[in-house]
Structure formats: structure tokens, C-alpha cells
Amino acid sequence: MDFIDYLLGGISSGAIIALMALALVLVWRSTRVVNFAQLGQAMFTTYIALTVRELTGSWFLGLIIAMAAGLVVGVIVHFLVIRPVKRLDTSGAIIATFGVLIALEALAAMVWGGDPEAFPPPINNSGYEAFGRIWPFSPYDLLVLASVVFLVLALSVVFTRTNVGLAMRASAFNPEVARLSGVRVNRMLVLGWAIAGLVGAVAGVLVAPLSTLSPTSFDIFLVFAFVAAVIGGLDSLVGAVAFGIGTGLVIALVSGYSDSSNAPLVALVLLVLNLLFKPEGVFSHHKARAV
């Protein structure tokens, strides 16, 4: 029974990791930048959601405001940091995202303080009762899982079935050719960061009720989300979700049978093995090239 309990407990956290990995993939697909500030953006917008909830009593209004804030923060980060730096060096833009992460955490600590805060869920977070026992999977966990499925399906349609999605992909792969084809490349890059900010905000608001919220509470998810995105393939939405949930299950099993402090180490070992044997990612359609 312990094994089943651990798996059920890992589904919800895995779904959150999947959303955060999805946000990383969205930025990569649209701008070819790994955004290590993504979790900082999610944390900051989650604090905004918490503030709205405290003022209005509405969790769902907080989510909507956080999503709007995620869009705005994503655009601001792109214009003020990524766009100027990327003109000089793409690797510099990636490094700059670490600076954004540190700045957002410091700003959140200044505004809201550094103490952990509770973020109550909108619906019951107690496990279902069946067969004479309580199972570690609640209505709120089901809401989280349903939200992930909906977002993945919606984004898949956008990227594969709409002109906007195709334009975003073209702008990332070959900006000059896309520009010659009439695509407004800069607009597509901004849109990619905005959508990723929105997805990150949803992930942050969903994960906060599962633990506590502090300026650095999402940092560990950065490790897990990055591992899931790389193993799944940085170009693959499906890969991010599949290995996000898979990473959550592995973490739950490792934490259950050993110690939770071992989970990041196991995740990094999986990342190294992936880079050794399939560096392009499991769901990637491109082969890695030796240099």
C-alpha cells in the first residue's frame, strides 16, 4: 500500500513540475533561451494572487489576477533584460535570467517578507475515502491534474494548428527567414515570454496550497522542472508534461523510501544519464550533433 500511496502523492507534485517544465519549454521554443527566472516569476505572481485572495476572499480571482500579472512580468523581463542582452550574446541572456531570479526573490522579500505563508486551497485538499481508508489524492489534486491537461491541450493546438503558433516557432528557429516571410518576429518573441509567464503563474498558484509560500520556496522546483524539460526534450510540450509527472513520481518514491533530501540528487543523476545517452531529449525530433 505504501507504494500506491507514494505514487498517488507524486501525481499532484508531478503535475506542478510538468507545468513549470512547460513554461521553460515555451520560452525555449519561442526565443531559444532557457529562462531560469521562470520560477521567480511564478513566485512573484503567486504572492500577488495571495494578496488578492486576502483582500477579496476569492482564490479564483487571485488566480486570474496572477495570470494577468504573469503576462505582464514576462513581457517586462523580455524587454528590460532579455532583449538587450540577447542582441549581444544568447548565453548572456541565459545568465541574465539568474540575475532576474535573484532580483525577484529580493523584491518579494522586501514587499511581503521572508516568512513562509499559508495559501489555502479553493476546494477540499483532504484525500478521498474509499475501501475503508483515506487515499492521498484529493479533489484539489484532481483540479491540478485537470488544469495541466487543459493547458497542454490548449497550447498544443496553438503551436501546431494556428498561424500564431507556427509564427512563434519560425521566429525562434530562424528569425531572418521568418522576418522575410512577413512574420513580426519581435512580436512573436514577446508573445512567447508572455504565455510562459501566464503558465508559470498558474503553476505557482496551484502549487502554493500544497506547501507554503516564501520568496525561495519554488527554487527546488526549478531543478525538477529543468530536469523534466531537458529529458523530455526542450522542444516538446508532451515531453515536458510526461517527464514532469514522471519526475514527480520518482521524487515521491525516493522521498518515501529514503529521505526527501535525496530527491534533487536523484533528479540530477537522471539528467546526467540523459545527457550521456540521449542529449536531444526523449521526445525531441532532432538529433544532437557532436562538435
The pLDDT tens digits for 76-107 are 998 988 888 877 676 788 888 999 999 999 99
Query: Residue 287 has what pLDDT?
Result: 56
pTM value surpassing 0.85: yes
Residues in the chain: 291
- What averages of pLDDT result for each successive group of 10 residues across the chain (291 residues)? 79 88 86 87 95 94 96 92 77 86 95 91 78 77 88 86 83 79 84 91 91 89 91 87 91 86 88 89 65 41
Which domains can be identified in the chain, with CATH numbers?
2-117+137-277 (1.10.3470.10)
SS3 213: strand
d(CA 196, CA 216): 20
Q: Which grid cell sits at 214?
A: 516564501
Q: Which residues contact 24 (CB under 8 A, 6 or more apart)?
A: 34, 35, 38, 196, 225, 226, 229, 234, 240
The owner of cell 523530455 is: 232
d(CA 238, CA 284): 10
Beta-bridge partner residues of 129: 134
Q: Which grid cell sits at 249?
A: 513520481
Query: Residue 123 has what pLDDT?
Result: 86
Query: Residue 249 has what pLDDT?
Result: 92
Q: Which grid cell sits at 123?
A: 476546494
Write the pLDDT tens digit of every residue in 142-191. Answer: 888 898 889 888 888 888 888 888 888 787 777 788 888 888 888 888 88
The single-letter code of the amino acid at 94 is I
Q: Which grid cell sits at 204?
A: 505557482
Query: Residue 66 has what pLDDT?
Result: 96
Q: Which grid cell sits at 141?
A: 489534486
With beta carbons less than 8 A apart as the criterion, state whether 46 and 201 touch: yes
Query: Residue 69 has what pLDDT?
Result: 96
With beta carbons less than 8 A apart as the criterion, state whether 231 and 69 touch: no
Residue 133: left (phi > 0), alpha (psi -120 to 50), or beta?
beta
d(CA 205, CA 194): 17
Give me the DSSP letters along 100-144. HHHHHHHHHHHHH-SS-B----SS--SPPEETTEE-S--HHHHHH
Query: Residue 290 has what pLDDT?
Result: 46
Query: Residue 52 has what pLDDT?
Result: 96
d(CA 111, CA 212): 17
